[in-house]
Amino acid sequence: MASLSGLTQQISNRNSVVELPMTHRPRLHNSIKKSCRVGFRVMASENNASTSELDLSVTVNGLKMPNPFVIGSGPPGTNLAVMRKAFDEGWGAVIAKTVSLDAAKVINVTPRYAKLRAGANGSTRGEIIGWENIELISDRPLEIMLSEFKQLKKECPDRILIASIMEEYDKAAWHELIDRVEQTGVDAIEINFSCPHGMPERKMGAAVGQDCALLEEVCGWINEKATVPVWAKMTPNITDITQPARVALRTGCEGVSAINTIMSVMGINLDTLRPEPCVEGYSTPGGYSSKAVHPIALAKVMSIAQMMRSEFGDKDCSLSGIGGVEAGGDAAEFILLGADTVQVCTGVMMHGYGIVKKLCSELKDFMKKHNFSSIDDFKGLSLEYFTTHTDLVKRQQEAIRQRKAIRKGLASDKDWTGDGFVQETESMVSN
């Protein structure tokens, strides 16, 4: 559970709320800000147009995207060639693979992926439903990555490029990294507070995202330096994901991304008795992704969206949903729960960059089916339908009572009347 030491807490009924002063700073991005509406809106306009005329564009923290589909930080954003390919295929934005000041400390191993397939004993012919990685952040020198960011923005000045960054527990290092990254012209920064398996001893990744006191301090360093929008990427490996999300937003971050991968052990090879992925006979727990995590991701995003709606509804905040997106319907679910954008990483690794065309087409099909003309028409619409189990019991008891009353008809023969005889008869006829 997240550590709350050093934070002022307000305990209200069963909910623990971290109270922090809001941090405000000017942003240099020249786009017009929009108000945050992580809530539901029933405003589907009358729409008889074809799917080609539906509007998938979104504006998030002043960043205009042609569609809500974003390349999630990881291998699909690891160098200039693949990021250029993503823009060529039509992705709304690209988040590059996470960088830090010193890439020399990043040493990856191979194999570093493992797959979980549907079917008995993970049959090699079964559909891939789970994916584990033990991959670290970018192992390419920062100078090279920065030069490629700059080149990509030169080639695609109107497309949205977001840098993902992670550093050690060092204010000066964070400030230096932010300054150097912003000089390339990136449109925003996503902070990796969520990598589950890389250098926790250096207070990097999830080691920060799981400790609200540490997160508050590091976010303070970041937000006093950054001049472009900042998104905090949340780890699901925590009891209550709303607590770090709240801290990130209250200390100045413009957005939250959720979820990163779930800590996992993919399995044990029952022939060799060694864990997977197996490196020289050994392994380490890694991050779990793909469609098997989608329901978990939806629950986490729902919780964050409810918190944002109640506590940050009048702020320019944003929410990016991540987890098991391989179809347009998967994305629609995130948006219905309040997400502004939807990130895809493992899906690209399995199906290629061209999957964005399928995602856009299927999302438009969903919109046309429900008579929505834009993303705003259905963003957060399903949030209002979540309640407590106690309330569900009350609702069902009342519904049963009303159904019984309708079916009951007349209680006894004395209730028959001459004027209402036909109607009274019909009230007791089985459909």
Question: DSSP alpha helices (H): ranges in 123-276?
Answer: 142-155, 171-182, 206-209, 212-225, 242-250
DSSP 74: S
Confidence of residue 414 (pLDDT cuts 50, 70, 90): confident
Q: Is the pLDDT of residue 403 over 90?
A: no
The overall average pLDDT reported for the chain is 87
| Mean of pLDDT values over 342-350 | 97
Of 10-14, 93-97, 289-293, 317-321, which gets the smallest average pLDDT? Answer: 10-14
Of 199-203, 386-390, 410-414, which gets the smallest average pLDDT? Answer: 199-203
d(CA 93, CA 83): 10
DSSP 10: E
| Mean of pLDDT values over 304-316 | 94
Give the model confidence (pLDDT) of 77-109 as tens digits.
Answer: 999 999 999 999 999 999 999 999 999 888 999
Q: Is the pLDDT of residue 254 over 60?
A: yes
Nearest 5°: the CA angle 210, 192, 194 is 35
Give the model confidence (pLDDT) of 198-209 as tens digits.
Answer: 566 566 678 888
d(CA 98, CA 113): 18
Which CATH architecture does the domain made up of 58-385 adopt? Alpha-Beta Barrel (3.20)
Cis peptide bond N-terminal to 275, omega within 30: no
Q: Considering 36, 156, 195, 360, which one is annotated as catalytic?
A: 195
| Mean of pLDDT values over 222-230 | 98
pLDDT at 55: 97
The verdict on whether 360 is a catalytic residue reads: no
**What does the domain layout of the chain look like in residue ranges?**
58-385
pLDDT at 420: 85
pLDDT at 199: 61
pTM of the model: 0.84
Most confident of 28-32, 35-39, 75-79: 75-79
Confidence of residue 331 (pLDDT cuts 50, 70, 90): very high
pLDDT at 8: 38
